[in-house]
């Protein structure tokens, strides 16, 4: 019998600096893909769709800059950028994957070590609650781009504390479309929190405002509702 492997793609939104008005939250996101479940068709679809939009088929969609009209998206209008955002949402919807996110309010923690401790406790509790699922795999491979050393240490230490065969690999986002999926999940978790707090930025309101719908309604009905169907354990 072929060994069963679970791929986990990890990403974050925020930084470990002190609380600031421009960076009040820290989000940790994970996307889970059982490697026995084929995603070749969704991958071919998104690569072809990116090519049709004049982008390289391996283009790594970065949702934050896409919303804020930064980096390579600076010359694109709102409709072009929305279509790329929707492309990533549809790719995730087509894939047999699940996801989980945790949102932390930085003002609640005295320093980065306190924040990391809270993250470790939340992630550990998640693994304990779902230990039967995770131990059903022979191997777990965690993919992360190494953007923040603290996250590399966190996921490695917590997962290795509960599971036997865990490997953490550093990846280039463009090489894995599922890494872009977890970037999307972190962004939407942040936006969901901002809706609840009434703190969407001007660029976020402009990006998600469509005819006949407020940005909040557009987000909830067009994106959050779709993504919630694939939430881990739902």
| Interval 116-153: pLDDT, tens | 999 999 999 999 999 999 999 999 999 999 888 999 99
Cβ(99)–Cβ(88) under 8 Å?
Answer: no
Rounded to two decimals, the pTM is: 0.94
Tokens of 217: 């309604």
120 within a domain of the structure (yes/no): yes
Q: Check: CB of residue 185 under 8 Å from CB of residue 227.
A: yes
User: Is 190 domain-assigned?
Assistant: yes
Task: Note whether residue 146 is domain-resident.
Answer: yes
Q: How far apart are CA 194 and CA 212, in angstroms?
A: 21
Q: Which two tokens stand for residue 56?
A: 């390289």
Per-residue DSSP letter, 55: S
Number of domains in the chain: 1
First to last CA, the chain: 29
Q: How far apart are CA 61 and CA 65, in angstroms?
A: 9
- Beta-bridged to residue 107, according to DSSP, are none
What is the tens place of the pLDDT at every residue in 36-90?
Answer: 999 999 999 999 999 999 999 989 999 999 999 999 999 999 999 999 999 999 9
**Residue 218 within any structural domain of the chain:** yes
Note whether residue 215 is domain-resident. Answer: yes
Structure tokens at 126: 């998640």
Could you tell me if residue 72 is inside a domain? Answer: yes
Tokens in use for 212? 């006949």
Alpha-carbon distance of 12 to 7, in angstroms, equals 17
Q: What domain range is 162 assigned to?
A: 5-228
CATH code of the domain in which 80 resides: 3.30.420
Residue 180 lies in a domain: yes
Q: Report yes or no on 233 lying in a domain.
A: no
> E strands along the chain, which residues?
5-13, 25-34, 98-105, 139-144, 166-170
């Amino acid at each position: 019998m072929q060994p069963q492997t679970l791929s986990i793609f990890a990403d974050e939104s925020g930084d470990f600096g002190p609380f600031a008005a421009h960076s009040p939250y820290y989000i940790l996101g994970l996307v889970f893909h059982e490697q026995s479940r084929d995603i070749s068709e969704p991958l071919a679809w998104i690569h072809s769709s990116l090519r049709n939009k004049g982008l390289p088929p391996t283009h790594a969609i970065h949702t934050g800059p896409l919303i804020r009209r930064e980096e390579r998206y600076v010359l694109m209008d709102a409709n072009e950028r929305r279509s790329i955002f929707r492309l990533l949402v549809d790719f995730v919807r087509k894939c047999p994957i699940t996801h989980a996110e945790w949102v932390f309010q930085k003002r609640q923690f005295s320093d980065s070590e306190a924040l990391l401790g809270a993250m470790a406790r939340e992630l550990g509790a998640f693994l304990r609650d779902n230990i039967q699922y995770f131990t059903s795999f022979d191997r777990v491979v965690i993919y992360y781009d190494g953007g923040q050393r603290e996250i590399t240490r966190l996921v490695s230490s917590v997962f290795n504390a509960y599971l036997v065969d865990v490997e953490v690999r550093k990846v280039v986002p463009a090489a894995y479309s599922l890494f872009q999926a977890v970037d999307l999940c972190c962004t939407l978790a942040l936006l969901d929190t901002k809706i609840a707090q009434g703190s969407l930025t001007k660029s976020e309101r402009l990006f998600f405002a469509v005819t006949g719908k407020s940005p909040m309604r557009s987000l909830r009905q067009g994106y959050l509702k779709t993504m919630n169907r694939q939430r881990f354990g739902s």
